[in-house]
Structure 1
Amino acid sequence: MEYTKEVDSNPESVDDGNGTLSAMHRADNALLRNLGYKSEFKREFSLLETISFSLSIMAVSCGTTTGYSYPLLSGGHFAMVWGWFIPCIFVTCVAASMAELASSMPTSAGLYYFSAKMASQKRSALASWITGWSNITGQVTLICSINYSCAELITTGIAMATDGAVVLGSGATFGILFAIHLTQAILCSAGTRVLARSMVLVLIVIMTTTISAIISLLVCSRGMVSPKDAFTKFENNTGWSNNVWAFILAFTTPMWCLTGYDSAAHIAEETSNAARAAPIAIMVGVLGTEILGWLMFIAFSFATYSVPDVLQSKLALPVGDVFLHVLGKRGALALWWSIAVLQYLTGCSQTVDASRVVFAFSRDDALPGSRWWKRVNRYTQTPVNAVWFVILLSAICGLLSFSVAAFNSLASAAVIGLYVSYVTPIYFRITSGRDKLKPGPFHLGRWSRPVGAIAVAWVAFMVVMLLFPYSQTVGPQTTNYAVVIILAVFIFAAASWIFSARRWFTGPIPNIACDAESSSSDGKPE
């Protein structure tokens, strides 16, 4: 990995009190114009806030807690430790390849823009179309899976606090999920400055909660599980007879946790020195989450006193019993509610990310109703309509909460949608676009093609794995509905392309020719 200096990280400000842009912002906007877009947002995100934004979506203590059941079933202690570690190696390759693209082309259009520029001229529009729809599918289902797991944290916390006297069913869970969506839509409609400054607070909460969880679980579980068992004891409770396949299913949790780091690219037009900040945020976010996540699962492994006993838990999230057993009721609830609050904030960050994707794709007229979703609110200077649109779509996906397989389905759909959109531009980067990329401050040099090839192969394997049911015994309540979600979107996107879009969609549409003083409401503050 190499860095080259492109923009002075501390340029002399030329602010005259009348809103004149700094030298850095002028350079950012000039680069954006070279990519074909005019600046429509305030650049309020600093490097630290961009890193915080990336980390907040992956919120490691939340993802490992709500995803604990996957490795628990897939191999027990062994799957907790190594089922996290192994995928991290390959996800790092995906992140590095994405960071290289984001550094070269820092625009909110992000992944589908990268695909359009890296693909051949003949395939450019189709590559952009596939990437855009895949990314939006992943973005929306990721909001829903995050918020659904937040609702489960709340219902489980209530059951823990009342010693099982109050157990809320699927109807109550959906009601909580709906309330989470509604309040997040209101919060995420705020201005960029408010959103940016809140990211530092979220980072503090993430680090405090995660480190507290790791230390408390390790210290309070001393002597419960031997070091040998914590790292090597394998117990397959999936129902699949093949132990290797059962272990591979544990990869679902790290793949779900390690999503959303493309967010740094999607807020590039709101970031200072974006060509440098975006790739750094991607890499720091991914590596930080990988390290802390591994430590979390090592702590969970030592704290899992008995895999069979935890599997018999009546809580919506069995890990709640581990917290109670190891930390006691007061300690468990204190940590549990901290994680629940953090998961709510994670959902807010993901909603912001998804809304920027919808805004960018709509700016190129690629979505039904694009004229509405690409509007920028004149007061907040943010795409408020896009925020409410993604929340509406996520709430519809939330109807799956009436199935016990809801989280599995939503998590799988989110990972498939996002990672397909991640590797599509990477695939074109190492094939037809290997000589097209103009390196930004962050680039892989001669490692670009081998790292990209590993990333593409890994995602192809993961997509197949994530479409399988988690248990060999399949019924209406245990079916993996991810295939239904992905297939429905694919059919709609394919039909739209074949019967309509291929005649008018040409990929990213430059808007630098648009008159900023136009009376048109499309693409400007309303």
Structure 2
Amino acid sequence: MSEEKTVQRKTKGTKVDVQVANEGLYALHRADDETLAHLGYKSEFRREFSLFETIAFAFSIMGVVASVSSTYSFGLYSGGHVGMVFGWLIPSLFVMFIAASMAELASAMPTSAGLYYFSAKLAPPKYAALASWITGWANVTGQVTLVCSIDFTCAQMITTALAVGSDGAIRLGAGPTYGILLAILFTHGIVCSAATSVLARLNLFYVLVNVGTTIAAIVALLVCSQNNGQRVSTADAFTLFENSTGWANNGWAFLLAFTAPMWTLTGYDSAAHIAEETAGAARAAPIAILTGVGMTASLGWLLYIAASYATWSVAEILQTDLPLPMGQLFLNTLGKRGMLAIWSLIIVVQYVTGAAQGVDASRVVFAFARDNALPGSRWWKKIHPYTQTPVNAAWLVMLLSGICGVLGFSEAALSSLAGASVIGLYTSYATPIFLRITSGRTRLVPGPFSLGKYYLPIGTIAVSWVSFIVVLLVFPSSSAPTADSMNYAVVIVLSVFIFASAYWALSARKWFHGPVRTVEGPESSSGASSSSYNGEPEEKPTSN
């Protein structure tokens, strides 16, 4: 009898604990929705992302081992061992300043609109709409080109595996590679259309594969290079400089190695873009941004150190016929079977990185369309009634990425996609940070995470670094560029800039007033002070 009572007490206690947990979660979601309403938006998503899942999402979107495998050649060309090791470390340190500034803004204004919303609220009221327009278009450009460059690199990884597995008998050209890209984009469209709960759980798998494969790659390169006698000395691994760019100035050549970490350390604004799907977003988003960047920068540096030790001959690696030189490094170090084993895992990491980036890009497109800033906005801002996700926006991202993928028929144009994505994204990162340290000094009401009095020096360093890196990324990788080796990043970015500018001058300036309120009631002081409100018209929620 006593045992039965004990069981009953335990059962009742469990029910009470569950009830208390559910009530706490409900209160947290209600507080999140109230904060969002103060920012001007109706809650339309299910808040299925926990703190850990948000961190996993921000980390997975940078796909450290796959990203390093994709960009290994940049450091190799631009300084050899020094380009790999210090060409990664130096930019990573500066990116932390950008991440810290963005974390503060995401904590104060946790909305999927993210960066262009921050710009609108921190700019002088007269220029709020224009600041929002510039930031939004720069971010959309970076998001779409990043999806394309990630997925095309995934296709190249597959063709590399086929070439190694067939001992060179299968070497696919640009056409078949583009076909693989379209297949990857199609499957990513399906994944990105899934319910938020599914996406949140998938990210737990993503982070396990990502971290596990990265550690495996580091250990394999260090151990196997030692065993087969192809490991360079520590002095060479950290100090041997080899300039293969064609630029006479070694210092300038070394700076070009910065492209690798800058392309990898992008997309961490994703934590802000899923804020409306996150429980406790004002706290979770900044933690995810800082943790994601810190983990990626640290693991990436360790992987590059391992790769530097294993790179016995820079010239030999650069002469490879494989689409990605990192594949040749693994082949030389691990042998055919070992290379294919680790490379298969890297392909999986790159695939899930593209899927995570697709989710991020679809949220950006949805949010920008919700404020009627895109052609056909009424289609792209629809929420699917079953999945409660922006399905139309997800497929638009895949369509635009497929169009960008046509550039893959030119190797130089495709590599320029990496530069275009970095320029677009970091321009959208720097704009609200610049406004924060200028016109927005007294406009921001900090959230749970705040930089305090250090926001000004941190923001100044962040903006200065972005200004420098944007100029750097429009330069060609060699000193005598031809049509085949030209850096087309400036062409891609300028094309969007000209379109967005013409659209603004001819039409948008008459009707786009910045973020559109979708809830009734006055704007609260949450996030940005009421003085930043620029009188935008309210829009009643529409049924989707």
**TM-score (norm: length of structure 1):** 0.95
**CA distance in 1 between partners of 2:273 and 2:195 (Å):** 16
Q: Give 1:319 shift.
A: 1.5
The reply to whether residue 48 of structure 1 matches residue 52 of structure 2 is yes
**CA distance in 2 between partners of 1:35 and 1:181 (Å):** 34
Q: Assess if the C-alpha contact under 8 Å between 2:42 and 2:541 holds in 1.
A: no
**CA distance in 1 between partners of 2:43 and 2:541 (Å):** 11
Identical-residue share of aligned pairs (%): 62
The reply to whether residue 481 of structure 1 matches residue 488 of structure 2 is yes
What is aligned with 2:302?
295
Matching residue's letter, 2:281: A
What is aligned with 1:175?
179
**CA distance in 1 between partners of 2:449 and 2:96 (Å):** 15
**Aligned counterpart for 1:165 among listed residues 149, 153, 169:** 169
What is aligned with 1:208?
212
What is aligned with 1:461?
468
What is aligned with 2:236?
229
**CA distance in 2 between partners of 1:333 and 1:143 (Å):** 25
What is aligned with 2:535?
none
Cα offsets for 1:6-57 (capped at 9, x unmatched) = xxxx9985858xxx97000000001101101110000000011000100111
**CA distance in 2 between partners of 1:302 and 1:12 (Å):** 55
Cα offsets for 1:119-149 (capped at 9, x unmatched) = 1111111000000000000000000010011
**CA distance in 1 between partners of 2:18 and 2:520 (Å):** 28
Q: Assess if the C-alpha contact under 8 Å between 1:40 and 1:524 holds in 2.
A: no
Task: Go from structure 1 to structure 2 and tell me whether the alpha carbon gap of 1:253 and 1:322 turns closer, same or farther (over 3 Å shift).
Answer: same
The reply to whether residue 65 of structure 1 matches residue 69 of structure 2 is yes
| 1:257-406 correspondence to structure 2 within 5 Å | 257-406=264-413
**Aligned counterpart for 2:478 among listed residues 455, 471, 487:** 471
Give 3-state SS (helix, strand or coil) of 1:235's partner.
Answer: strand
**CA distance in 1 between partners of 2:89 and 2:441 (Å):** 30
What is aligned with 1:5?
none
Q: Give 1:187 shift.
A: 1.5
Q: Assess if the C-alpha contact under 8 Å between 2:519 and 2:540 holds in 1.
A: no
Q: Give 1:463 shift.
A: 0.5
What is aligned with 1:420?
427
Matching residue's letter, 1:292: L
Give 3-state SS (helix, strand or coil) of 2:411's partner.
Answer: coil
Runs of 4 or more, structure 1, over 2 Å off, are 10-16, 521-526
Q: Assess if the C-alpha contact under 8 Å between 1:99 and 1:283 holds in 2.
A: yes
What is aligned with 2:258?
251
Task: Go from structure 1 to structure 2 and tell me whether the alpha carbon gap of 1:12 and 1:123 turns closer, same or farther (over 3 Å shift).
Answer: farther
The reply to whether residue 38 of structure 1 matches residue 42 of structure 2 is yes
The reply to whether residue 92 of structure 1 matches residue 96 of structure 2 is yes
Q: Assess if the C-alpha contact under 8 Å between 2:317 and 2:329 holds in 1.
A: yes
Q: Give 1:404 shift.
A: 1.3
**TM-score (norm: length of structure 2):** 0.91
Q: Assess if the C-alpha contact under 8 Å between 1:12 and 1:22 holds in 2.
A: no
Q: Give 1:487 shift.
A: 0.6
What is aligned with 1:6?
none
**CA distance in 1 between partners of 2:237 and 2:80 (Å):** 9
What is aligned with 1:492?
499
**CA distance in 1 between partners of 2:541 and 2:397 (Å):** 18
Matching residue's letter, 1:509: V
Q: Assess if the C-alpha contact under 8 Å between 1:376 and 1:524 holds in 2.
A: no
**CA distance in 2 between partners of 1:181 and 1:393 (Å):** 10
Q: Give 1:176 shift.
A: 0.6
**CA distance in 2 between partners of 1:452 and 1:14 (Å):** 39
**CA distance in 2 between partners of 1:79 and 1:157 (Å):** 26
Structure showing greater radius of gyration is: 2
**CA distance in 2 between partners of 1:45 and 1:303 (Å):** 39
Bigger Cα displacement from structure 2, 370-379 vs 495-504: 495-504
What is aligned with 2:512?
505
**CA distance in 2 between partners of 1:525 and 1:232 (Å):** 61
**CA distance in 2 between partners of 1:236 and 1:407 (Å):** 23
Q: Assess if the C-alpha contact under 8 Å between 1:52 and 1:202 holds in 2.
A: yes
**Aligned counterpart for 1:408 among listed residues 415, 419, 426:** 415
Q: Give 1:513 shift.
A: 2.8
Q: Give 1:499 shift.
A: 1.2
| 1:118-157 correspondence to structure 2 within 5 Å | 118-157=122-161
Q: Assess if the C-alpha contact under 8 Å between 1:148 and 1:177 holds in 2.
A: yes
Matching residue's letter, 1:184: H
Q: Assess if the C-alpha contact under 8 Å between 1:103 and 1:442 holds in 2.
A: yes
Q: Assess if the C-alpha contact under 8 Å between 1:104 and 1:437 holds in 2.
A: yes
**CA distance in 2 between partners of 1:21 and 1:370 (Å):** 33
Q: Give 1:406 shift.
A: 3.5
What is aligned with 1:76?
80
**CA distance in 2 between partners of 1:401 and 1:524 (Å):** 40
Task: Go from structure 1 to structure 2 and tell me whether the alpha carbon gap of 1:13 and 1:424 turns closer, same or farther (over 3 Å shift).
Answer: farther
Matching residue's letter, 1:473: A
CA RMSD of aligned residues (A): 1.6
**CA distance in 2 between partners of 1:59 and 1:170 (Å):** 24
**CA distance in 2 between partners of 1:220 and 1:525 (Å):** 59
Q: Give 1:239 shift.
A: 0.8
Q: Give 1:341 shift.
A: 1.1
Q: Give 1:312 shift.
A: 1.0
Matching residue's letter, 1:486: V
Task: Go from structure 1 to structure 2 and tell me whether the alpha carbon gap of 1:523 and 1:393 turns closer, same or farther (over 3 Å shift).
Answer: farther
Cα offsets for 1:222-242 (capped at 9, x unmatched) = 252000000000000001111
Q: Give 1:188 shift.
A: 1.1
What is aligned with 1:451?
458
**CA distance in 2 between partners of 1:15 and 1:85 (Å):** 44
Q: Give 1:255 shift.
A: 0.1
**CA distance in 2 between partners of 1:271 and 1:236 (Å):** 46
Matching residue's letter, 1:502: R
**CA distance in 2 between partners of 1:21 and 1:524 (Å):** 27
Q: Assess if the C-alpha contact under 8 Å between 1:92 and 1:287 holds in 2.
A: yes
Q: Give 1:473 shift.
A: 2.4
More helix per residue: 2
The reply to whether residue 190 of structure 1 matches residue 197 of structure 2 is no
Q: Give 1:318 shift.
A: 1.5
Unaligned stretches of 5+ in structure 1?
A: 1-9, 515-520
Residue correspondences, number: 508
